[in-house]
Structure 1
Amino acid sequence: MRILPGTSSTELGLNIASNLKIPLLELEFKYFVSGESYLRINGSVENQEIIVIQNTSPPQEKNLMELLLIASTLNELGAIRVHCLVPYLCYARSDKRRLTGEVTSHQITLDLIHKSGIDSLITANVHNPEIFLNTNKELKKYNIDCTQLLITKLEQSKGKDWFIVGPDKGRYNEVRNIAQNLSKPFATLDKYRDPHTHKVSVQDTGFDCRDKDVVIVDDEILSGGTVFAAIEILKQKKPSSITYFCVHALSMEEVFDKMKQVGVTDIISTNTIPRTDIEQLDITQLLSESIWENFL
């Protein structure tokens, strides 16, 4: 087995290969003036099992296309199996057709990944795990729960009386699992997204978190519309503090600046999408363990 770090996940690929003591496969790449990618796999892959580590965070189309090109080439060159580790899986939110004619990008993305010659896909905290696992069943899929890292972080925090909150009911299983591990209370808010305007409204569900240290647990953030609505509801409940956690931090830095201005004391994410403006929890060990358990 060998690990091939893609263009968008070079550091993560190197760290996982070092963790697991798996030989690396070098990818040579450059970009033409047109914006197209030049990719070349240096080394023999014939009769070998290869793990490609390539994120599909923005720019999504470029990173996804490179993953497909790499996987297809590995198969053409004689690799016996190709697995991919994609920390952030693009288009996972577009998993249902709400309006006639809408493209269900999630299913198409998984189909493209499978048709490119990928046998197995590992990702982290996909938007809807049930739909993910039941779409294209020919592609073996693993969804790693990175909220384990938050549990460890909160356990180590002294003098805090945690109350775990999901910004919508879609996060129910995650917040319940975190709360049960910490033996703390939890609740979720209720969210509605207009299918035409995509405007979000969030409603209170009638819970008491006065004088508690609230942690909002989210899968990803972009514009922050849902979170800011949730923060306004929570502030009316007079908590001691509000911490925001998400697995995939996609938003611009200005979103987090605004979050601090409206009273959020701590902002934490994992480094599925590396950045330096907020605290990040490292996913390297979790993903290394998943590779070890499933492929070694």
Structure 2
Amino acid sequence: MKLVAGNANRPLAEAIAAYLKLPLTKCVVRRFADMEVFVEIQENVRGQDVFVVQSTSFPANDNLMELLIIIDALRRASAHRITAVIPYFGYARQDRKPGPRTPISAKLVANMITRAGADRVLTVDLHAGQIQGFFDIPTDNLFASPVMVRDIKENFESDLVTVVSPDVGGVVRARGLAKRIGAPLAIVDKRRERPGESEVMNIIGDVEGRSCILFDDIVDSGGTLCNAAEALIDKGAIEVSAYITHGVLSGGAVARITSSALKQLVITDSIQATEAVRVSRNIRAITIAPLIGEAIARTAREESVSSLFD
């Protein structure tokens, strides 16, 4: 088995390698003067089971091209099987046609990864579960919730916690977490006027005197979370935290969250944290390296991955 890392999230790749007690394969991924990507695998991978760790986070297009070119290099080097390990799958929010003459970019990216030569995909908390069906190769969608459940149990009194879905679309995800920790569920009913902006309309459920945990897969601008936290406090919640798998945190999101009613935002290291995130007073990262490492090990041994979440 070989583990190859792109440049998108080197610390996570190194943590996965440490969990597996396996050195990262020597690999050069660099840019020409015009920013073309060049890849050279500096070890023999012929006949090997190779796992490529690369999130397609910001800059999404650069990191996606790195992933595709690494896969192509491995295929041409006669790797036996290539698994694209994509902790954060970019373009996942473009999983349907929201209007006429618009693309389904998630399907296009799935096609590109398949045609580049990947034999299977391993990712974490896809924005929409049906994206698994966009791939014509086996795809494992891991869930970060076991890692978050452990952290919640260490930091909260379970009898005071209410899990809150920040929108109706995330109810199934939030219900799953609530069931795991034995907490009630509430829902934020919101209306989105335009992309990146949201207006909280109502809170469905009893949150008065409760420690509320907002739970979702992606935080980007942070507007939805901040509005939801303010609405929950207005409804009598004693404190509001958020557990989000992928901290995209674009634009002024970090400043917005820092000055919000949120006590803390807990994200995973699926996306490499910026300096602003690292120094923020109320943003904290937990690692999913052991989760991904165990999934890689089980895949290499042809064992069940789904049993990780039983």
Does residue 30 (structure 1) correspond to residue 35 (structure 2)? The answer is no
Partner of 1:272: 270
Partner of 1:189: 188
Matches within 5 A, 1:159-238: 159=157, 161-193=160-192, 199-238=197-236
Q: 2:203 touches 2:232 (CA, 8 Å); kept in 1?
A: no
Give the distance between the partners of 2:23 and 2:157, measured in 1 at CA. Answer: 45
TM-score, normalized by length of structure 2? 0.88
How far residue 102 of structure 1 moved from its aligned partner, in angstroms, is: 0.3
Does residue 133 (structure 1) correspond to residue 138 (structure 2)? The answer is no
Give the distance between the partners of 1:74 and 1:157, measured in 2 at CA. Answer: 43
3-state SS of 1:45 partner: coil
Matches within 5 A, 1:65-84: 65-84=65-84
Q: CA distance change for structure 1 residues 93 and 30 in 2, over 3 Å: closer, same or farther?
A: same
Which segments of 5 or more consecutive residues in structure 2 lack a partner in the other structure? Answer: 302-310
Letter in 1 for 2:113: I
Q: 1:29 touches 1:38 (CA, 8 Å); kept in 2?
A: yes
* Of 181-190 and 79-88, the range deviating more from structure 2: 181-190
Q: 2:12 touches 2:270 (CA, 8 Å); kept in 1?
A: no
Bigger relative CO (Cα 8 Å, ≥ 6 apart):
2
3-state SS of 2:204 partner: coil
TM-score, normalized by length of structure 1? 0.92
How far residue 96 of structure 1 moved from its aligned partner, in angstroms, is: 0.5
3-state SS of 2:242 partner: strand
1:204-226 CA distances to partner (integer Å, 9 max, x unpaired)?
A: 24321001001111211111222
Q: 1:5 touches 1:12 (CA, 8 Å); kept in 2?
A: no
Runs of 4+ residues deviating >6 angstroms: none
Give the distance between the partners of 2:178 and 2:270, measured in 1 at CA. Answer: 23
3-state SS of 1:56 partner: coil
Q: 1:162 touches 1:214 (CA, 8 Å); kept in 2?
A: yes
Letter in 2 for 1:92: A
How far residue 23 of structure 1 moved from its aligned partner, in angstroms, is: 4.7
Give the distance between the partners of 1:140 and 1:292, measured in 2 at CA. Answer: 16
3-state SS of 2:231 partner: helix
Partner of 2:86: 86
* Of 150-159 and 279-288, the range deviating more from structure 2: 150-159
* Of 73-82 and 157-166, the range deviating more from structure 2: 157-166
1:80-123 CA distances to partner (integer Å, 9 max, x unpaired)?
A: 11001111100000000021110111000101001100011111
3-state SS of 1:65 partner: helix
Letter in 1 for 2:169: G
Partner of 2:288: 283
* Of 278-287 and 25-34, the range deviating more from structure 2: 25-34
Letter in 2 for 1:156: E
Give the distance between the partners of 1:232 and 1:19, measured in 2 at CA. Answer: 39
Letter in 2 for 1:290: A
Give the distance between the partners of 2:119 and 2:126, measured in 1 at CA. Answer: 18
What is the total number of aligned residue pairs between the two structures? 293
* Of 91-100 and 147-156, the range deviating more from structure 2: 147-156
Identity of aligned residues (%): 25
Give the distance between the partners of 1:72 and 1:147, measured in 2 at CA. Answer: 33
Matches within 5 A, 1:9-20: 9-20=9-20
* Of 209-218 and 220-229, the range deviating more from structure 2: 220-229
